[in-house]
Structure formats: structure tokens, C-alpha cells
Amino acid sequence: TQTRTLVFLLTIFAFNTNASAQHEEGANAVSLAVADAVRSSAVGSTALYFNPAAMHQFIQHSVETGYQFPNSNQGHVFTASAVDSATNHSLAAGMSYSYIRGDSRANLDRKGHQIRGGMATGYRGRDFSGHVGVGLRYLDLTVDDENKDDITIDVGGLLVFNNILRI
């Protein structure tokens, strides 16, 4: 068992990609704990950041707030989000707002806003469920004196078999 533990630890260190440095700004701590590997298991507001279809997989109301300190730019990210799939069982919807602020002492003055919204629908069964969703992201970010204003659209799908296999 000691050999297996050593091999496991060496494998983790050998393939470590420093994923926390690339963490999605505004995403909650649950996704950070697993290096953002939540595309098929996202719940609540995590689905707004990684797979909008996952908002529909569970019937729930989810309201979250969060704070991040990205050490690489001495910044701050404050986030508030809400996802609802309980009011209408056929349609899940959610929205998230993040205020992004960087520290000028780190030679990078950043400030901006990120707004995310999404909708998802699908079929929930006992042995099989399938979900589709669409997400919209608006980012207004000023880095030093350069303003970046962007809109992106995400489309996601999720198939769940026997609540074990997720694609």
C-alpha cells in the first residue's frame, strides 16, 4: 500500500498544471477544490461557469456569494449568483454578477464587471437524463487604460446514465 500511495502522489505532482492560477474568475470554491473539473457534475451557480445544461439536472433553488483573491495580480473578485430549477421543473435559469478589481501595486490595474446568465431544459428520469443549456457572458474589463468589452455564448449538453456515467 505504501508503493501505491507513492505512485499516486508522484502521478499527481508529475501532472500538476497549476490549475488554480487559471481558475475561472467568479466561479465558486467547489470548482476550485477539484481544479475546475466540474463540466459534468456542476450544481447551482457552478453550471453558469462550466456547463449551462447542468443547471437543470437537480430541482433546487441556489443562491451563492463569494470572494476570491487571485494572488497572481493581487486582485479581488466579489460574486453573487442565483439559479432556480424548482419554480419551473421544465426550465432552469440562473444569473451571476462579479465585480473584478486588481491592485495597482502589482503593476496591473484591473477593474470591471462580469455578468453571466443561462437557461437549461431537459428530461429527468430514474435511469437516464439528458439536458441542454445555453449561457451568455458579458465582460467589461479595464486593464491599465485599455478597455475590453466582450460577449460570449456557451452551449452545453449533459447525458447521465444510472446516475453513474456522465457525458
Cβ–Cβ under 8 Å, residues 40 and 167: yes
pLDDT tens digits along 139-162: 999 888 889 899 999 999 999 999
Q: Which residues pair with 139 in a beta bridge?
A: 114, 150
Q: Which of 130, 47, 28, 131 is nearest to 95 (CA)?
A: 47
> In 2-90, at which residue ranges do the beta strands (DSSP E only) sit?
61-68, 76-84
pTM of the prediction? 0.79
> Which triple of cell numbers denotes residue 70?
487571485
Q: Minimum mean pLDDT among 8-17, 36-45, 118-127: which range?
A: 8-17
Cβ–Cβ under 8 Å, residues 79 and 97: yes
